Amino acid sequence: MVKVISEAEYGQVQECPLAVLDFSATWCGPCKMIAPILEKLSEEMKGKVGFFKTDVDASPGLAARFGIQNIPTLVILKNGEEAGREMGFKPEPLLRSILEGYLN
């Protein structure tokens, strides 16, 4: 399950050994396309990867903190530190492969 968070809840992301933070917006078409893929992957990777989502319009400070200029942007965090970043829509097989790379 992808947990929707605000800036105040960002600490939950840092508690995960491996986390995906999805920066998106309700008006963004590619964000709507990637959302069900992230939901599916969150179920498959439950217990290994934490999945979080934040709306750039509702959490502008968090978006600024990460320098988000395009959405969707997935920020991958290992032990609270940014380990990678994926921008734009990615098909499920590619996204799964990318995330599995961070698990190894």
Read off the pLDDT of residues 7-45 as tens digits, 9 standing for 90 and up.
999 999 988 999 999 999 999 999 999 999 999 999 999
Region 3-103: CATH code? 3.40.30.10
Please state, in angstroms and as integers, the Cα–Cα distance from residue 29 to each residue in 48, 72, 89, 91, following that order.
Answer: 28, 9, 10, 14
Which listed residue (5, 16, 28, 75) is catalytic?
28
Whether 31 is catalytic is yes
pLDDT at 104: 76
d(CA 93, CA 37) in angstroms, rounded, equals 10
Which listed residue (20, 31, 38, 71) is catalytic?
31
Helix axis angle for 92-103 and 29-44, nearest 10°, is: 50
Beta bridge partners of 82: 77
Whether 28 is catalytic is yes
Q: pTM of whole model > 0.85?
A: yes
pLDDT at 68: 96
**Chain segment 51-104, per-residue pLDDT in tens:** 999 999 999 999 999 999 999 999 999 999 999 999 999 999 999 999 999 987
Amino acid at residue number 8: A
d(CA 23, CA 63) in angstroms, rounded, equals 7
| Residue 2 DSSP class | P
d(CA 14, CA 9) in angstroms, rounded, equals 10
